[in-house]
Amino acid sequence: MNRVFVTAIVKDVPAGEYARYLPPMKARRMGKLQKRALVTALKAMEISGVGEPDAILNGTAMGCMENTVQMLGGLVSEGEEVNMPTCFMQSTHNTVASMIAIFTGNHGYNTTYSHRTISFELALQDALLRLRLGQIRTALVCANDELTELQLHNPTFFGQLEVQDRSEAWMLSVESGEHPLYEIENVRVIHQKGAEDRAEIIKKSL
């Protein structure tokens, strides 16, 4: 069974660096989360030297809320005359993972977990098992969520779930490379009725 290493971790690339990874022309049509998510993923690919990961996985607690809220608003203001194709197609939870694949021309395994606060850990578990079994050799695992004005104004608008406004990207590989950050040993996931779902990433610093 393969050992699994984390070879890069990138968090919330600042807007000043975007132009390095993303031509402004292409960025214009993207929302705030999409830009940050894509640039964070591209930087993790650059640092790790893995430009074509075998898999792209994303974890998102709430999905693409900016577009979702806009579409909901459209349904209120225009009723069912509403016509928001772009907004709708970018409101689905897997928009980010797809966009990274489309931008980089990646045909590999592509999936998205949307399971409360442990979405990223579930994505990581999926990647870990595939890497261990040798189905894939590298995987980009991301965490992406955004907070809309509506949620900033009223954090419990859509419920009690605490959402972190963040973009994070980890590169996983069965090869340690020169400077591995961690070795991942396991991801434990626990569901118990009446309690928040929990997940623990068991990793060893290298």
Partner 1 sequence: MMRPRVVITGMGVVSALGVGVEANAAALVRGESGIGQVRYLPTEHHEFPVGEVKMSDEELCHSLQLADGPCVSRTNLLGIMALREALVHANLQGHPDLALISGTTVGGMDVTERLFPEPLPAGMHDVHDCGASTDIIADNSGCFNYTSTVSTACSSAMNALILGKLLIESGEREIVLAGGAEALSKFHLNGFKSLMILDRQRCRPFDQTRAGLNLGEGAAFLVLESETSALQRGAEILGVLSGGGNACDAYHQTASSEDGEGARRAMTQALADARSSPADISYVNAHGTGTPNNDASESAALRRVFGDKLPPVSSTKSCTGHTTSASGSIETAFCLMAMRRGFLPYQTEYQNLDEKCIVPVSGKEPPQANLRHVMCNAFGFGGNDSSVILSRYE
CB of 156 to partner 1, least distance (A): 7
Which C-beta is closer to partner 1: that of 1 or that of 14? Answer: 1
- Toward partner 1, which CB reaches closer, 16 or 85? 85
- Contact call for residues 163 and 203 (beta carbons, < 8 A): no
Question: How many of the other CB atoms lie within 10 Å of CB of 110?
Answer: 16
Binding site for partner 1 (CB under 8 A): 1, 56, 60-63, 71-73, 75-76, 79-80, 82-85, 87-95, 97-99, 101-102, 104-116, 119, 122, 126, 129-130, 132-133, 154, 156-161, 189-194, 197
Per-residue b or e along 21-38, where b marks 16 or more CB atoms closer than 10 Å to that residue's CB: bbeeeeeeebbebbbbbb
Shortest distance, CB of residue 177 to partner 1, whole angstroms?
Answer: 24
CB of 39 to partner 1, least distance (A): 18
Whole-number Å distance between alpha carbons of 13 and 83: 33
- Rounded to whole angstroms, the Cα distance separating 201 from 49 reads 24
Give me the helix-helix angle, 32-48 and 95-104, nearest 10°.
50
Give the nearer residue to partner 1 in terms of CB position, either 6 or 122: 122
Rounded least distance, CB 14 to partner 1, Å: 26
